[in-house]
């Protein structure tokens, strides 16, 4: 997963943030992010992510088959070859931008997985 996220960062994280938001808001079934694109998985099995408070279905997460996973890892390894040549200050800027996105969405992230009692 970390390798896929790094691949996303190397393909200009901030330019694609709207694409990320659309993937998570338009469909309950999540896609894999490989080589800068959201792609459907051929997974036969899914994990249903449900709200612990209401049992409402939030998302369906494909249990990515080994061959798809290995493909994602190989693409990420290939991306790392160019990423490691990016100057340190540029990589730091990407990571600080990522940190800013986490902080901007901290309330949402903090509430993930909380029960009704915890929300009160």
CB 15 within 8 Å of CB 31:
no
Q: Could you tell me which residues come within 8 angstroms of residue 55 by beta carbon, excluding any fewer than 6 positions away?
A: none
For CA atoms 24, 27, 32, 38, the dihedral sign is negative
* CA–CA gap between residue 80 and residue 42 (Å, rounded): 25
Output the pLDDT for position 90: 93
pLDDT of res. 55: 86
Question: Ranked by mean pLDDT, which of 5-14, 45-54, 70-79, 100-109 comes out on top?
Answer: 70-79
Q: Check residue 10 and give its pLDDT.
A: 45
pLDDT of residue 56: 87
Pull the structure tokens for residue 75: 């693409």
Each domain of the chain, given as residue ranges in start order, spans 2-119
The CATH number of 2-119, from 1.10.357.10, 3.40.605.10, 3.30.70.2740, 3.40.30.10, is 3.40.605.10
Q: Tens digit of pLDDT for each residue in 47-101? A: 998 888 788 888 899 999 999 999 999 999 999 998 889 999 999 999 999 899 8
Judged against a pLDDT cut of 60, whether residue 40 lies above it is answered with yes
pTM: 0.58
Residue 12 is predicted with a pLDDT of 45
Give the mean pLDDT of the chain. 78
Distance CA 107, CA 38 (A): 25
- 88, 81 Cβ separation under 8 angstroms: no
Return d(Cα 37, Cα 84) in angstroms, integer. 21
């Amino acid at each position: 997963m970390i390798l896929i996220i790094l691949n996303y960062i190397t393909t200009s994280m901030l330019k694609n943030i709207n694409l990320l938001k659309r993937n998570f808001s338009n469909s309950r079934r999540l896609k894999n992010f490989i080589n800068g694109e959201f792609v459907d998985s051929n997974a036969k099995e899914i994990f249903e992510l449900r709200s612990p408070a209401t049992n409402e279905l939030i998302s369906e997460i494909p249990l990515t088959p080994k061959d798809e996973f290995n493909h994602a890892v190989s693409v990420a390894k290939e991306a790392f070859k160019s990423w490691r040549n990016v100057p340190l200050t540029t990589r730091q800027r990407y990571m600080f931008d990522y940190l800013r996105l986490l902080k901007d969405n901290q309330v949402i992230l903090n509430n993930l997985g909380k029960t009704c009692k915890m929300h009160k």
